[in-house]
Amino acid sequence: MHRTALITGGSRGLGRTVAEFLAAQGYDLVITGRGEAEIEEAARTLRRHGGPVTALAGDVADPAHRRRLARAARDLGGLDLLLNNASTLGATPLPPLAEYPLDALEEAFRVNVLAPLALIREVLPLLAQSGGLVVNVSSDAARGGYPGWGGYGLTKAALDLASLTLANELAGRFVGVVAVDPGDLRTRMHQEAFPGEDISDRPLPEVTLPFWAWLLEQPRRDVTGRRYQAQADCWEVNAPAAELAEVAV
Amino acid sequence: MKRAELDFDRPQALQAAGPPERRGLERDEVRLLVTTERGHEHARFRDLPRFLAPGTLLVVNTSATLPASLPARHPALGPLVANVSTWYGGGSYLVELRRSAAEPGPLPVEAGDHLEIAGEPARLVAPHPGLPRLWFVRVENSLRPAMERAGSPIRYGYLEAPYPPLADYQTLFARQPGSAEMPSAGRPFTLRVVNALQARGIGLAGVTLHTGVSSHEVEADEVEDQTLYAEPFEVPQHTAEAVTAARRERRPVIAVGTTVIRALESAWDRDRVRPAAGFTRLLVHPGRPVRSVDGLITGLHDPLASHLAMLHAVAPGELVRAGYTEAVREGYLWHEFGDSHLLMAGAA
């Protein structure tokens, strides 16, 4: 069954790992990242699975680029999955909120909140046609109140609320929306948050594959509106557990 | 908890190579080792009611077993066995590839390999992280028809021919097909045992947890670091309420099978069990207290099995180890057609 996914931040890290997993299952892909050489290289390796991969270099914060991404999905025949993964950490080293440069905070909002929201709008008609799923990548920084993580955390908390609200608003159009906190991963972005530190104890993004395998097969109505942790012990669905009669023997 | 704490010596002879019916016993006539703080007692499974107080709630797994072992063919490796562990939905499965029932992998296969599973075209998508014997596989069509047509119950090298039919792998409680391997703690229950339990005022409630393949040996040095794969589960409202009420009223709750503890602990929320459904890969170990049950009826587990960590979470380590020493000394039988163990933290 032919399915299409659009992945932002697809050149490396979590986005690249998910792209690989989807390509290996026969998904058609549109991937994007800011670095042209990197996104092209990613596309080349992904194409070895035999499916079409459209690579577009650009910034998700750019409206024209978002329109190009939507067009690319349309050209592939539709969209089943949008993975809003591209994010900026904001100002680094991570300043406390009391000192956070406000223009950097605005920029972080543009990339981490407005861009995903705007991209959802661009591709919504395609998602509605297929009963598709939006996955917005979150972080425990959205909840923890950790000193230094307030800037990035603010943007992820906003994205979390957007995910929940959209899930409720789009229920009638059969488009599912979920937030996913992938957990700590050994990626370049994570290293940027901990400059000079040894992050080799964090798992590689492949640790999240069972979660994606599970999420992508769930009926949208069963997961929409939920916030998941990909490395958690348990992934639950919305559907009320079917009522079993008393144990019949 | 250290991996070494899960190790012990189990003589090869103490393996049930077939159902007790072949040894002239009914299902409920297998042996029952009863371990409580008072010590260890030896009984037959049909004696179970006398060890449980009136008002006890038994929670069972209503999952039924699938004939999940399928013949497979790989272009380079030739004929293989594909044991279908877990259905993720649609055409997505987690599968263990083996050379045969007696020869496990991992095999020299790669993501992108195309193979046939019972004649169905399949592609290898990715290995399960941390568990290289297990592969995510994509097929065009559901494998259930293939199982009906060509599947047999998953079996391993200790099982002797003639191999038992699928019906031998269904417990009395089995309702929803989905398990790769029998949730075997429930197998010794018969109608007469259930009637005797009910006559004694012991209640029954059900959860569903579909087992995957039993690749559960702990390899990590620290048990808590062991990767487990996720299994589908459901705790229905009726059962959530029954367990919560029993906890509140201080009536004993006994899980029939480690699968039941996994499901109930996954659904535990502060002071109660919630109705819940999804996938769980919860590892129950002594570092996280078991809140939902007071005891466990289960089979005997292999050295280094992750299930042993769960036993150590239910009862003190010395008691569990002493129980296993006793089981070995008295010649109890291991595996899905073997003997049974009632383990309770408090006195019976």
Pick from B45, B58, B343: which is nearest to B198 by CA?
A: B58
Q: Do B239 and A244 touch (CB under 8 A)?
A: yes
What are the contacts of A103-110 at 24+ separation with CB within 8 A? A104/A151, A105/A151, A105/A154, A108/A151, A108/A152, A108/A154, A108/A155, A109/A154, A109/A155, A109/A158, A110/A61
Spell out where B129-287 has E strands: 131-139, 176-179, 203-209, 231-235, 253-256, 268-269, 272-273, 276-280
Beta strands B231-235 and B276-280 are antiparallel
With b for 16 or more beta-carbon neighbours within 10 A and e for fewer, the B254-271 pattern comes to bbbbbbbbbbbbbbbeee
Give the pair of three-digit tokens for residue B148: 């009906």
CB of B80 closer than 8 Å to CB of B74: yes
Pick from A179, A161, A164, A69: which is nearest to A124 by CA?
A: A69
Q: Which of A231, A236, A243 to mutate to test the interface with B (most CBs of B within 10 A)?
A: A236
Task: Please name the member of A24, A206, A210 whose beta carbon is closest to the beta carbon of B112.
Answer: A24
Q: A115-130 and A63-75 helices cross at what angle (nearest 10)?
A: 20
pLDDT of residue A2: 79
Angle at CA of residue A179, ends A173 and A183, nearest 5°: 160
CB of B76 closer than 8 Å to CB of B84: no
Q: A1: which chain B residues are within 8 Å (Cβ-Cβ)?
A: 90-91, 140
Q: What are phi and psi of B147, to 5 degrees?
A: -65, -40
Helix (H, G, I), strand (E, B) or coil at B35: strand
CB of A127 closer than 8 Å to CB of A171: no
* Cis peptide bond N-terminal to B104, omega within 30: no
Q: Do B280 and A234 touch (CB under 8 A)?
A: yes
Q: B275: which chain A residues are within 8 Å (Cβ-Cβ)?
A: 240-241
Q: Interface pTM (ipTM) of the complex?
A: 0.95
CB of B338 closer than 8 Å to CB of B225: no
Shortest CA gap B9–chain A (Å): 31
Q: A207: which chain B residues are within 8 Å (Cβ-Cβ)?
A: 129-130
Shortest CA gap A132–chain B (Å): 15
Helix (H, G, I), strand (E, B) or coil at A19: helix
* Interchain CB contact of A223 with B (< 8 Å): no
Helix (H, G, I), strand (E, B) or coil at B218: coil
Pick from B275, B263, B273, B255: which is nearest to B185 by CA?
A: B255
Q: A178: which chain B residues are within 8 Å (Cβ-Cβ)?
A: none
Angle at CA of residue B85, ends B81 and B89, nearest 5°: 120
Give the integer Cα–Cα distance in Å for B44 and B337: 14
Task: Please name the member of B62, B92, B138 whose beta carbon is closest to the beta carbon of A244.
Answer: B62
Could you give the residue numbers annotated as active site of A? 152
Q: Report, in angstroms and rounded to the nearest whole number, the Rg of chain A calculated over CA atoms.
A: 18
pLDDT of residue B290: 95
Q: Do A244 and B238 touch (CB under 8 A)?
A: yes
Helix (H, G, I), strand (E, B) or coil at B39: strand
In the predicted model, residues of chain A with pLDDT beneath 50 are 244-245
In the predicted model, residues of chain B with pLDDT beneath 50 are 348
Q: pTM for this structure? A: 0.95
